């Protein structure tokens, strides 16, 4: 079972990454914040955003969709439940 707050944290970290990446073009030290946001997303993705049945990578967009709809793993076909 994947927790709803982990999906939200991953989504927020992607938004922070994109904003910091764009702002980093104008002010170079902000690239450090973009790297931290990317590292945080990769940690959440590797640790929490996997299929609970087979451990296969699941796309953040698909998991965001699964928060309100029924969704099955692309690899094993089991239903992914969002808590």
Q: Classify residue 70 as left (phi > 0), alpha (psi -120 to 50) or beta.
A: beta
Token couple for 30:
């902000």
Output the CA–CA distances (angstroms, integers) from residue 16 to 24, 26, 51, 74, 76, in the order listed. 12, 16, 25, 28, 32
Report pLDDT for 45: 93
72/81 Cα distance (integer angstroms): 9
Alpha-carbon distance 66 to 70, whole Å? 6
What per-residue confidence (pLDDT) applies to 1?
A: 87
* pLDDT tens-place string over residues 9-64: 999 999 999 999 999 999 999 999 999 999 999 999 999 999 989 989 888 999 98
């Amino acid at each position: 079972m994947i927790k709803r707050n982990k999906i939200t944290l991953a989504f927020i970290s992607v938004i922070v990454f994109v904003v910091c990446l764009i702002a980093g073009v104008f002010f170079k030290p902000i690239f450090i914040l973009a790297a931290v946001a990317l590292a945080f997303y990769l940690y959440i993705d590797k640790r929490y955003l996997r299929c609970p049945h087979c451990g296969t990578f699941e796309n953040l967009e698909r998991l965001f969709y699964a928060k309100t709809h029924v969704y099955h793993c692309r690899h094993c076909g089991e239903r992914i439940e969002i808590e």
